[in-house]
Amino acid sequence: MIWQQFLSLAGSYPLALRGLGMTVVLSLISLVLGTLLGFGLGILRTGGNRLISSVIGAWVDLIRGTPFLVQIFLIFFILPEFGIELDAFTAGIIALTNLAACFICEIVAAGIRSVPTGQVEAALASGLSRWQRMRQVVLPQAMRIVLPPLVGQYVLLIKDSSVVSAIGLTDLTRVGWLVVQRVPNGLLVFFLVGVGYFIVCYPLIMLARRLERRMGAAHGEVQL
Amino acid sequence: MTKPTQTKTGPAKTGMIDFRGVNKWFGALNVLKDITLSVEPREVVVVCGPSGSGKSTLIRCINGLETIKDGDLVVDGQRVGDPATNMTQLRTEIGFVFQSFNLYPHKTALENVTLAPVHVRKIPRAEAEKAGRELLAKVGLADKVNAYPAQLSGGQQQRVAIARCLGMRPKIMLFDEPTSALDPEMISEVLDVMVAVAEEGMTMMVVTHEMGFARKVAQRVVFMDAGAIVESGTPDEFFSHPKTDRSRAFLSKILRH
């Protein structure tokens, strides 16, 4: 009987691949956008402007303090009430990008704060502009602190992407739901779904571990 | 009395660095009290005094690392803190050497020296690197151009830091206790470089307790205590005939050993 279920599962592999593809595409797009946005927010968060900093801080707290599922529902079901119609894919990208940006913002801000004041003063004293100080002096040093948790955060976000199945996107998790209706063996189906996520995440976990070791050992000669 | 540079300061004549009645507070603490001091071009002024007397704060005001509360501070003809003054531009004319070196740890000695010339002065990289190598050779580190700060001793790091400032061809060099973080055997290698810079006619303000350095190159020693300038004179006058009780007490402490 297990064998029959297996055969029947093998028949759904195109669907599984599509789901895996959707998970990867969704994650990739929102991680790239979220990283760019997160760095921008992190830099603004530690910049001189109190108002901007506290607005970003409040938004980050709000996003971190509410369930991702609720955020997706708000974007997908509530925004149309205000005339903003989004397809599921766009809504998923927006929700995931926003979530990624908020977590990454805090990681980047912590990294920037870890750079000693003396470094900023030295850059200031030699006449570097604000952007040059950030680009040439602060960020390269902050990256040592930022990179390991950043990659770790990517893993968490890829797994969080499973929540978008709730608004009907056919990602890996939703494929699980679809298949399990045909092959009534939840344990087996969702075990395989888990394996799918693991295959995507494991290289990143390894990368995070390697980065952590390299950053700890490096004497400043970090090559980005 | 003291050097003519001090008594001649009139409204028409301004020094390279001109403090006029400068005050600064940290909260309720008056860290700079009514400072009036003028440093002429090519003059070397040593600032000394007990810790917490405001010496570092004094020179950090000159390039705007600290802001002043009231009074005027004119550097190279520009008022520090005035909205009309481009502080970033003014800072390119002022080299600042820190007690803790503050080299960029992710850049080599040469990259430390060329960073600001390339990005701020917009000097072509090849040209900046050539000048950078020459400067590092001048401070005795020709063989360390590709070393990272972590691979250098404290004395070597501080010499790179001085070369980094000189790379901008500044009009003024400020030194904030440049040898205080160094092991004793490394102090003289840094002082030698500073003497060489002074002898080339650089305008310098140096916060230090290195009295040998003061005697050798300083035209003037300024003694500070509790945020005020208590005494000011030539090194000879100051060391041989301190005029106040506070300076005598200070000198007896640092010269005892």
Residue with tokens 């003061």: B214
pLDDT at A223 over 80: no
Distance from CA of B138 to the nearest CA of A (A): 20
**Percentage with pLDDT > 90 across chain A:** 63
Percent of chain B with pLDDT strictly greater than 70: 94
Whether pLDDT at B11 is above 50: no
Position B226 confidence tier, pLDDT thresholds 50, 70, 90: very high
User: A-chain residues within 8 Å CB-CB of B95?
Assistant: 125-126
Check CB contact under 8 Å for A127 and B148.
no
Structure tokens at A112: 């920037």
Across the range B228-243, mean pLDDT stands at 92
Residue-wise pLDDT tens digits, B113-154:
999 999 999 999 999 999 999 999 999 999 999 999 999 999
What residue type is assigned to position A166 of the chain? A
Contacts of A222 in chain B (CB under 8 A): 106
Q: Any idea what DSSP says for residue B210?
A: -
Q: How do residues A154-170 score in pLDDT, each as one tens digit?
A: 999 999 999 998 888 88
Q: Are A208 and A155 in contact (CB under 8 A)?
A: yes
A80 has pLDDT over 90:
no
B92 vs A123, A127, A141: nearest CB? A127
Query: Which residues in chain B have their CB less than 8 angstroms from residue A220's CB?
Result: 105-106, 148-150
How far is the C-alpha of B94 from the C-alpha of B88, rounded, in Å?
Answer: 10
Residues in a beta bridge with B206: B46, B175
pLDDT of B6 reads 41
Give the range with max mean pLDDT: A7-21, A179-193, B144-158: B144-158
How close A149 comes to chain B (CA, Å)? Answer: 20
Please state, in angstroms and rounded to a whole number, the distance separating the CA atoms of residues A106 and A156. 15
Which of A124, A132, A141 faces B106 most closely, judged by CB atoms? A141
Residue A88 has pLDDT above 70, yes or no: yes
| B92, B96, B105: residue with CB nearest A141 | B105
Strand B220-225 to strand B228-233: parallel, antiparallel, or no bridges (unpaired)?
A: antiparallel
pLDDT band at B10 (very low <50, low <70, confident <90, very high): very low
pTM over 0.80: yes
How confident is the model over A136-140, as a mean pLDDT?
A: 94
Distance CA B52, CA A54 (A): 34
Residue A120: closest CA among chain B residues belongs to which residue? B102
Residue B176 clears pLDDT 90, i.e. is over it: yes
Task: Measure CB to CB from residue A129 to each of B88, B106, B165 and give the nearest one.
Answer: B88
Chain A neighbors of B59, CB-CB under 8 A: none
End-to-end Cα, chain A, rounded Å = 53
Q: For residue A114, which residues of chain B lie inside 8 Å, CB to CB?
A: none
Q: Residue B195: which residues within 8 A CB-CB, separation 6 or more?
A: B213, B216, B217
Record: contact B106-A221, CB cut-off 8 A: yes
Where b means 16+ CB within 10 Å and e means fewer, A47-79 reads eeeeeebeebeeebeebeeeebeebbbebbeee
Distance of residue A163 Cα from the nearest chain B Cα, in angstroms: 40
Farthest-apart Cα atoms in chain B, separation: 55
Is pLDDT of B1 > 50? Answer: no
pLDDT value for B13: 54
B147 touches B174 (CB < 8 A): no
State residue A167 phi and psi, 5-degree precision: -105, 20
Cα–Cα distances (Å) from B89 to A5, B128, B131, B201, B239, in that order, read 74, 19, 21, 22, 38
Whether the per-residue pLDDT at B43 is higher than 50: the answer is yes
Where does the pLDDT of residue A209 fall: very low under 50, low under 70, confident under 90, or very high at 90 and above? confident
CB A96 within 8 A of CB A27: yes
By the CB < 8 Å criterion, does A48 face chain B?
no
Residue type, B146: N
By mean pLDDT, which of A171-175, B145-149, B175-179 is the weakest?
Answer: A171-175
